Amino acid sequence: MKNYISIIVAFILLACQQDSTVLKTLYSLPKKLKEVSGIIYSPENSTLWTLEDSGNANEIYGLNAQGEIAKTVTITNATNVDWEDITKDKAGNLYIGDFGNNDNIRKDLCIYKIDKSTLGKENAVSSYKISFAYPEQKDFPPKKTEMFYDVEGFFEFNNNFYLFTKNRSKNFDGTASIYKIPNAAGKQKATLLGKFKTCSNYNHCAITSAAISPDAKKVVILCHDKIILFQGFQGDNFLKGTQTEIDLDHFSQKEAVAFKDNKTLLIADEKTKKIGGKVYEYSFKK
């Protein structure tokens, strides 16, 4: 997430842009959280859970409605190699995706489960760990034209995880893959469900987060200036529905998306060149 020379250039060019006509700014993130990489919303206590990526603490943070850190939970038996997203199941248990893989060399990809009952404590223990690998990857690292094995977005649905890859290949063409992994302790198989394309411009179409609506009728993929919406699908055949690109009228290093309810998204970005470092709200018209 930190090798964005071309993205920095884009930030400079867009530094004077006006506020988005699509996004509503809710609040600025606390100064402590400089590299937010994932968010998930818990409606029962109006808490937005977030985390940071590689080089940061093995902690998750609960933000209140004003954007203040109301809870800090240290996960004592988990190492933050590169935490890239956070999600939850229907029971409210949280899951940390430690699968950031910029260089496509990792052989320790995993997901940590954090029981809902431990979220009120200062220290918590991951109740289990899901380890996995991509069967299609044979070389570590692969060729520069085959850097397909980084992930920054996932969600849990019907006792499975769905991971959306971030293409880091030379000659980026927007190709992304969806992998399915069982939500069960131990080493699990990652199954390739299918591939789709965003666009051929890395700055605008690299995938940084993913989320599914509470009613499981919408799946969204986040990029720096747009979301990609899948709907009209059955079960987990997300690619059998419609794929719609929604322009957010705002370019920044957006890294995290979550549903607040079936019609509302929360989006967070990192602060870069005085742009971002905020949480926004997006409302679907339907």
The pLDDT assigned to 11 comes to 46
Q: Is the pLDDT of residue 117 over 80?
A: yes
Which token pair is 261? Answer: 């309810």
Half-sphere exposure (Cβ direction) of 78: Cα atoms closer than 13 Å = 32
186-189/175-182 β-pairing = unpaired
Arithmetic mean of pLDDT over the chain: 94
Separation between Cα atoms, residue 220 and residue 83, nearest integer Å: 20
Which token pair is 232? Answer: 């009209």
Q: Is the pLDDT of residue 263 over 70?
A: yes
Separation between Cα atoms, residue 244 and residue 239, nearest integer Å: 11
What is the chain's percent helix, strand, coil content, to nearest 5? 10, 45, 45
pLDDT in tens, 222-244: 999 999 999 999 999 999 999 99
In this structure, how many other beta carbons lie within 10 angstroms of the beta carbon of residue 181?
21
pLDDT in tens, 141-153: 999 999 999 999 9
Angle made by CA atoms 169, 233, 247, in degrees to the nearest 5: 55
128-133/186-189 β-pairing = parallel
pLDDT in tens, 86-108: 999 999 999 999 999 999 999 99
DSSP 8-state assignment for residue 13: H
123-124/110-114 β-pairing = unpaired
- What is the Cα Rg of the chain in Å? 17
| Average of per-residue pLDDT across 30-43 | 97
Separation between Cα atoms, residue 256 and residue 187, nearest integer Å: 27
Q: Is the pLDDT of residue 64 over 90?
A: yes
In this structure, how many other beta carbons lie within 10 angstroms of the beta carbon of residue 241?
16
Separation between Cα atoms, residue 204 and residue 122, nearest integer Å: 38
Query: Residues 261, 214: contact at Cβ < 8 Å?
Result: yes
DSSP codes of every residue in 60-110: EEEE-TTS-EEEEEEETT---S---EEEE-TT--EEEEE---TTS--S--E
Percent of the chain predicted with pLDDT > 70: 93
| Average of per-residue pLDDT across 170-187 | 98
Angle made by CA atoms 106, 97, 138, in degrees to the nearest 5: 30
The pLDDT assigned to 1 comes to 52
Q: Report helix, strand or coil for 207.
A: coil
The pLDDT assigned to 69 comes to 98
Which token pair is 152? Answer: 């920054």
Which token pair is 246? Answer: 């929604």
Separation between Cα atoms, residue 40 and residue 245, nearest integer Å: 22
Separation between Cα atoms, residue 84 and residue 63, nearest integer Å: 18
